[in-house]
């Protein structure tokens, strides 16, 4: 599965493990473009009352689901490689790197929003700020306020990472051959619970709370199945079979199934979407020379994927729906909202996020690994991290 390393395509280098997979950056680019398209177009449409359109083609939710699958796949791959190289997983180093990866840009954004709220420019409650800082925003619901609404997905991801590294270490130490199976069964358990909770809520209230599909206990299968696929691919026989036998027709079938599921279920989270996302990702990582792989590794998509976290954080400010107060309406309406969001994200990435990621890796290096069995040789590049988080 190796290939000759290519030039760095202008992406800045840094001393981190070469387990970096540029294909994942391409997927992040697709995910953030779906979020931006949704917020730029559908927010106005939904506010105008076109609910059927929103429920079927609200690309932001699809983008976030891609981020969830990417996060589970990427982080599990890295942790498994650390376990293979060192015989353990350093939970302390993991959380140091995670904190330096996630918190700086998020806290700067919340500081800006808080300052604007104190000056009377925005309506932001203390409750939603507390929920965003302490990562329980996904249990407050969108009614808590728009400008921190996107912290629901960040909260959900961090809940996963509070228990997953320790659980993975336990699985690898005691049930190594069953780790993928147990992880997949946990995901199925979440999906079953989601259906039970959904039917119970409908029976009691006749409708779902607006934050129902934002709850951690309702959506964890999206991250767990990403992790399960990564665990399956750690087996050399599986990787070889995937590389040699998963033809382009398999990719097209998976893609068609994924599109059909998204269109059919709309905003409703399903285990089918949670399962198909990491399978699509796995196919492209094991077939980097395919048309899909080459497209995902194109330099513009790789760059967009690398700034996707900062862009996810800052885009929320620039794309409020028409029924939300906009203190800078010229910059918060189409078309100037797009370059304004990119300008804020680029500044955040290069001034805040990138230096903090480097510092986190210096303080808590990920281990001696210089390559991973899931990746082919790569030039050393700055770790792009995970999805929206």
pLDDT truncated to tens, each residue of the chain (389 aa)? 333 333 333 333 333 344 578 899 999 999 999 999 888 876 555 555 455 555 545 678 899 999 999 999 999 999 999 999 999 999 999 999 999 999 999 999 999 999 999 999 998 999 999 999 999 999 996 567 899 999 999 999 999 999 999 999 999 988 777 999 999 999 999 999 999 999 999 998 888 888 899 999 999 999 999 999 999 998 888 888 888 888 889 999 999 999 999 988 887 899 999 999 999 999 999 999 999 999 999 999 999 999 999 999 999 999 998 888 889 989 988 889 999 999 999 999 999 999 999 999 999 987 654 333 333 333 333 444 455 65
Please tell me the distance from the alpha carbon of residue 313 to that of residue 377, in angstroms, as a whole number: 31
Kindly report the CA angle at 296 between 290 and 301, in degrees rounded to 5? 155
Q: Both tokens of residue 29?
A: 């680019």
Please tell me the distance from the alpha carbon of residue 213 to that of residue 219, in angstroms, as a whole number: 7
What is the CA 194 to chain-centroid distance, rounded? 20
Q: What is the pLDDT of residue 58?
A: 60
Residue 269 has φ and ψ, to the nearest 5°, of -70, 135
Whether the model clears a pTM of 0.85, i.e. scores above it, the answer is yes
DSSP 371: -
Q: What is the pLDDT of residue 142?
A: 59
* H-state helical runs in the chain: 22-37, 43-47, 51-57, 59-86, 91-118, 126-133, 151-174, 179-205, 216-233, 236-245, 248-265, 271-286, 291-296, 299-306, 308-318, 337-348, 354-363
CA dihedral 217, 220, 222, 224 (to 10 degrees): -150
CA dihedral 39, 145, 388, 112 (to 10 degrees): 100
Q: What is the pLDDT of residue 384?
A: 44
Please tell me the distance from the alpha carbon of residue 340 to that of residue 354, in angstroms, as a whole number: 20
Q: Which has the closest alpha carbon to 89: 158, 164, 166, 178?
A: 166
Q: In Å, what is the CA distance from 167 to each residue of 23, 175, 293?
A: 27, 11, 32
Q: What is the pLDDT of residue 368?
A: 54
Please tell me the distance from the alpha carbon of residue 3 to that of residue 375, in angstroms, as a whole number: 9
3-class DSSP state for residue 111? helix
Where do the structural domains in the chain lie, given as residue ranges?
Answer: 22-363
């Amino acid at each position: 599965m190796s290939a000759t390393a290519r030039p760095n395509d202008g992406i800045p280098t840094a001393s981190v493990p070469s387990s970096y997979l540029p294909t994942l950056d391409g997927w992040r680019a697709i995910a953030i473009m779906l979020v931006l398209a949704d917020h730029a177009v559908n927010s106005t449409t939904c506010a105008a009352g076109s609910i059927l359109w929103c429920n079927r083609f609200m690309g932001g939710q699809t983008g976030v689901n891609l981020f969830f699958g990417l996060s589970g796949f990427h982080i599990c791959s890295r942790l498994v490689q650390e376990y293979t190289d060192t015989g353990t997983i350093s939970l302390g180093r993991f959380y140091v790197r995670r904190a330096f990866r996630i918190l700086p840009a998020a806290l700067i954004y919340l500081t800006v929003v808080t300052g604007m709220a104190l000056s009377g420019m925005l309506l932001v409650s203390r409750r939603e700020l507390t929920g965003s800082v302490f990562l329980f925003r996904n249990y407050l619901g969108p009614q808590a306020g728009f400008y921190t609404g996107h912290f629901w997905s960040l909260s959900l991801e961090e809940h996963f990472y509070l228990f997953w590294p320790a659980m993975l270490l336990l699985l690898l130490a005691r049930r190594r051959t069953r780790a993928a199976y147990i992880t997949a069964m946990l995901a199925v358990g979440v999906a079953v619970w989601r259906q039970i909770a959904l039917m119970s809520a409908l029976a009691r209230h006749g409708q779902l709370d607006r934050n129902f599909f934002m709850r951690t206990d309702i959506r964890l299968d999206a991250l767990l199945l990403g992790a399960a696929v990564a665990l399956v691919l750690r087996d050399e026989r599986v990787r070889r079979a995937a590389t040699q036998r998963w033809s382009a027709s398999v990719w097209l079938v998976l893609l068609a199934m994924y599109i059909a599921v998204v269109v059919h279920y709309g905003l409703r989270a399903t285990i089918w979407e949670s399962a198909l996302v990491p399978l699509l990702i796995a196919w492209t990582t094991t077939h980097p020379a395919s048309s899909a792989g080459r497209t995902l590794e194109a330099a513009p998509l790789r760059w967009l994927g690398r700034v996707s976290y900062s862009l996810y954080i800052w885009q929320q400010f620039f794309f409020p729906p028409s029924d939300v107060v906009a203190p800078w309406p010229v910059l918060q309406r189409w078309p100037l909202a797009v370059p304004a969001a990119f300008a804020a994200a680029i500044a955040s990435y290069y001034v805040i996020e990138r230096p903090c990621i480097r510092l986190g890796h210096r303080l808590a290096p990920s281990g001696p690994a210089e390559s991973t069995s899931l990746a082919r040789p790569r030039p050393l590049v700055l770790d792009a991290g995970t999805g929206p988080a």
